[in-house]
Amino acid sequence: MAGAKNKYQIDMCRGPLFSKIVVFSVPLMLSGILQLLFNAADLVVIGRYAPHEAMAAVGATASLTQLIVTVFMGLSVGTNVLVANYYGAKNRKNISRTVHTAILLSLAGGAVLAIAGIVLARPMLTLMGTPENVLAKACVYMWIYFAGMPCIMLYNFGSAVLRAVGDTRRPLIFLLLAGLVNVGLNLFFVLVFGMDVGGVALATVIAQGIAGYLVLKCLMNSRDACRVKLRNLRIDPAILKSMLWIGLPAGIQGAFFSLSNITIQSSVNSFGSLAIAGNTAAISLEGFVYIGSGAFHQTVVSFAGQNLGGRQYERIRKSIIYCMLSAFCICLAMGYGFFFAGKQLLAIYNPDPAVISWGMLRIRILFTTCFLCGIMDVISGALRGLEHSVMPAVVTLLGVCVLRIVWVYTVFPLHPTMGNLMLSYPITWLITAAANGLYLYWICKKLFHPGYRKGLSRP
């Protein structure tokens, strides 16, 4: 047995499926909304109480920060899949081995990322063509943000463990507490001390430290196989190998995703600081539209993983269908809702008409087609939950990353407008979703065939 199930956990292998998907995914969506609200609060405070260069500085770091962080964050996907699979298989020993490996890896990886981010900040931002009036502030933001990376990694790996056993409610509570601290410190540092980007970054680091501590304390107090004992923290080579096999392709895929976004951000930078500020505000709103996409991506990873471990193949099929339809509907509704209210929402971040105009150029194209991203993410999550992480990474690398970069250097120069630049997003979503969808169909056809029941080759 995997240990006694507490009131926060969900057994995804038995009982009514759709209601459990709802119970699991709603806290994920609420967590996503809270995270975005707190991130938006950062931008609102800067946009309202600091020069527009400060807001542009935070926006100019987003793609680069994501690039550096994403590889290690991919390993948290590996953690989620392994723990979910072992939980479904009732393998208590391997759950414990995975959890202790993941926690130590998060701290070590966070330290490596902290050093890399601090060292690479200025040269990478310069390479991206960050405007001179923004560069210094962008560097300050990155230096402080990356100093807190061990805390950020700890929270993400710890919450991945909790999600794997069906617990999405406690990470939501931890995020709420940390987020409230973040907002309070934003106002305190920016309004009282006039720290603008430095204050926002410091507030984020302190809040993430609180979230990391809470999730670690939760795991240390657990009474089941997920319990963390500090004396047992060690890297298990066999578990690490499995974690890398599943998570590293996801991390590399995300890194190339970020690389393509950096290329696009560099093109946005060519339009000046007002365009950067408008694009940054639109990206912040964009996150709310993608709430369904991200939540059901994580949901299908956990449900597919647990049911694969429990050999519940029909539940895997239904989980994929339910998650895909849910992501499609939520993305469609959110996308068009935010599109029609776009100008008013952008004005919350920055009332400058020029900033709003630039932001609407992104909203008009991406928000009305974001349902394609939702479908793409659920398909990718299903493949990862079924432990097929390499092929979707390759497909996404070619269909999204390479194609976007090609677009920037071939199509965009022919008609160098923000609208033409943004068209690269829906086109690459459609191509990638179609290719990964065909691969998922082939995998499921084999997996669900009565004569095909592949045993796990992992420890």
Query: Tens digits of per-residue pLDDT, 247-294?
Result: 888 888 777 777 788 788 889 888 888 898 899 889 888 888 888 888
The first and second tokens of residue 343, run together, are: 């100008």
Stated as kind and residue range, the H or E segment containing 261 is: helix 237-269
Distance between CA atoms of 228 and 331, rounded to whole angstroms? 37
Residue carrying structure tokens 């202790």: 100
Q: What is the pLDDT of residues 333-360, one digit of tens each?
A: 999 999 999 999 999 888 889 999 999 9
Distance between CA atoms of 259 and 54, rounded to whole angstroms? 23
Residue positions counted in the chain = 459
Q: What range defines the domain where residue 420 resides?
A: 17-447
386 located within any domain: yes
- Residue 155 is predicted with a pLDDT of 92
Backbone phi, psi, residue 430, to 5°? -65, -45
335 located within any domain: yes
- Residue 331 is predicted with a pLDDT of 94
241 located within any domain: yes
- Residue 7 is predicted with a pLDDT of 66
Q: What is the pLDDT of residues 35-49, one digit of tens each?
A: 777 777 777 788 777
- Residue 450 is predicted with a pLDDT of 62
Distance between CA atoms of 428 and 431, rounded to whole angstroms? 5
Residue carrying structure tokens 């429990």: 310
User: Is the separation of the CB atoms in 109 and 75 below 8 Å?
Assistant: yes
Greatest Cα pair distance, the chain, in angstroms, is: 68
- Residue 51 is predicted with a pLDDT of 74
> First and final CA of the chain: distance in angstroms?
17
- Residue 260 is predicted with a pLDDT of 82
Q: In which residue ranges of the chain is pLDDT below 70?
A: 1-8, 63, 67, 449-459
Which string of DSSP letters, residue by residue, matches 329-341? HHHHHHHHHHHHT
452 located within any domain: no
454 located within any domain: no
Residue carrying structure tokens 């964009």: 286
What is the number of structural domains in the chain?
1
